[in-house]
A = this chain, B = another copy of it.
């Protein structure tokens, strides 16, 4: 005997299951005390694959007040989007993202496209009453990000929410770092050093892709991975960057396919609202470093260190302990008491990259269920955008100190 699940009538490949078997509440049926939530995802490449796995998994590991219906995936090329829908497990597809706005079964629009289309899609979706998750960086310019933030503010008044996808906030070790800092375990923060090192374009024969073109990507390493360390650092420190001194460089300008019009790397000094000083560096030419998002924070009361290539670990030093046994602890962030980890595996069993997106989906759904604004907001994304813009401005003006516009002493959400 089978039962309908979420409006779907799953007959099962075996049309007539034995009487003693019983249909379980199937995947697409809302789980007990949850409501169905239809998601429409725009874009289906790298980010789309990661988001799909998150939407597919979130109900399996977390108790959230919605049951996800992976309703539609959007792509311009029908053949490709059809294949992607099948591969990634979406129920329907569209070839124009605007179609999502008219569909009643779409509650959330998940924007996984390149940065040049974020503003148009996100604003339209919010205005149409769809909740929005938008990949980072929020936009390709401050102006776009401002418009998006305004749209989010308007939407919020109507109960429609927006979130920017800084998924690394959902690395349990980074979330723990934030908790420890917020709890005062680091005392006054004085130093931040943040690096995001990759090497995927170190070969000069690597071709020109959209990520290497300013009109599509906005910037290079700066916006792609620099945005991540800016957000992560502001998230952990709990303060915005108020000023920067920057430098960018494109070491390899000519590639198969054309001229690179974005930076290969961006470096900057920074100052947080509370006075801490910082070095930031984002590069795609750090030979041998594959995905080394590193953060180190020193405060008057302790220090933290993190490397995404060892993403299940956090190093923590507490000042004032007995010097005989003081030292950086390697915290294996897999305990049930660690952020997100109660939902996953026993202590010592690692999680990986895509879990950050599932954790992000959980936070989004929890906020939605409780009627609170999900975090990071578009305003947070705008603040990151302002930092990136200040870096570019400084880099274009002899590295002179440049304000981000964030008030000194402000707190970051």
Chain A residues in the interface with B (C-beta under 8 A): 2, 6-15, 17-18, 20-29, 31-32, 36, 38, 46, 49-50, 52-53, 56-57, 59-60, 69, 71-73, 82, 85-96, 99, 102-106, 176, 179-180, 185, 190-191, 193, 195, 197-200, 202, 245-247, 249, 251, 265, 267-269, 271, 275, 277-279, 281, 283, 285-292, 298-303, 308-312, 316-319, 323-332, 334-335, 337-338, 344-355, 398-401
Shortest CB–CB separation between residue A245 and chain B, in angstroms? 4
**Residues A24 and B316 in contact in the complex (CB < 8 Å), given A299-B287, A352-B349, A353-B351:** no
Question: Which single member of B82, B279, B309 contacts A350 (CB below 8 Å)?
Answer: B309
CA distance A406 to B81 in the complex (A): 53
Are A287 and B269 in touch, CB under 8 angstroms? no
CA distance A299 to B49 in the complex (A): 32
**Residues A21 and B352 in contact in the complex (CB < 8 Å), given A245-B247, A337-B324:** no
Are B277 and A265 in touch, CB under 8 angstroms? yes
Are B193 and A22 in touch, CB under 8 angstroms? no
Residue among A9, A265, A352 facing the most chain B CB atoms (10 A cut-off): A352
Shortest CB–CB separation between residue A243 and chain B, in angstroms? 9
Chain B residues, Cβ within 8 Å of A199: 298, 319
CA distance A199 to B328 in the complex (A): 13
**Residues A90 and B9 in contact in the complex (CB < 8 Å), given A99-B18, A346-B46, A398-B400:** no
Are B291 and A317 in touch, CB under 8 angstroms? no
**Residues A25 and B103 in contact in the complex (CB < 8 Å), given A285-B298, A287-B317:** no
**Residues A8 and B6 in contact in the complex (CB < 8 Å), given A85-B25, A103-B14, A302-B287:** no
Are B92 and A22 in touch, CB under 8 angstroms? yes
Chain B residues, Cβ within 8 Å of A24: 72-73, 82, 85-86, 90-93
**Can you show 14 pairs from A to B with CB atoms below 8 A apart?**
A12-B69, A13-B38, A18-B102, A21-B92, A22-B93, A25-B82, A46-B345, A53-B60, A193-B281, A200-B346, A290-B347, A310-B310, A326-B329, A398-B401
Q: How many copies does the complex hold?
A: 4
Are B332 and A290 in touch, CB under 8 angstroms? yes
CA distance A94 to B19 in the complex (A): 10
Are A11 and B12 in touch, CB under 8 angstroms? no
Are A327 and B332 in touch, CB under 8 angstroms? yes
Are B338 and A324 in touch, CB under 8 angstroms? yes
Shortest CB–CB separation between residue A190 and chain B, in angstroms? 5
Chain B residues, Cβ within 8 Å of A347: 200, 290-291
CA distance A56 to B60 in the complex (A): 10
Chain B residues, Cβ within 8 Å of A71: 12-14
Are B267 and A288 in touch, CB under 8 angstroms? no
Chain B residues, Cβ within 8 Å of A38: 13-14
Shortest CB–CB separation between residue A211 and chain B, in angstroms? 12
Chain B residues, Cβ within 8 Å of A32: 86
Are A191 and B265 in touch, CB under 8 angstroms? yes
Shortest CB–CB separation between residue A79 and chain B, in angstroms? 12
**Residues A28 and B10 in contact in the complex (CB < 8 Å), given A93-B22, A323-B337:** yes
Sort A-B residue pairs by CB-CB distance and give the 8 closest, nearest first: A291-B348, A290-B348, A14-B105, A24-B85, A288-B317, A25-B86, A352-B352, A327-B329
Chain B residues, Cβ within 8 Å of A348: 198, 289-292, 308-309
Write the chain B residue with the least CB distance to A24: B85
Question: Which single member of B99, B323, B350, B399 contacts A353 (CB below 8 Å)?
Answer: B350
Chain B residues, Cβ within 8 Å of A337: 323-324
Chain B residues, Cβ within 8 Å of A400: 398-401
Write the chain B residue with the least CB distance to A35: B13
CA distance A323 to B22 in the complex (A): 42
CA distance A281 to B191 in the complex (A): 10
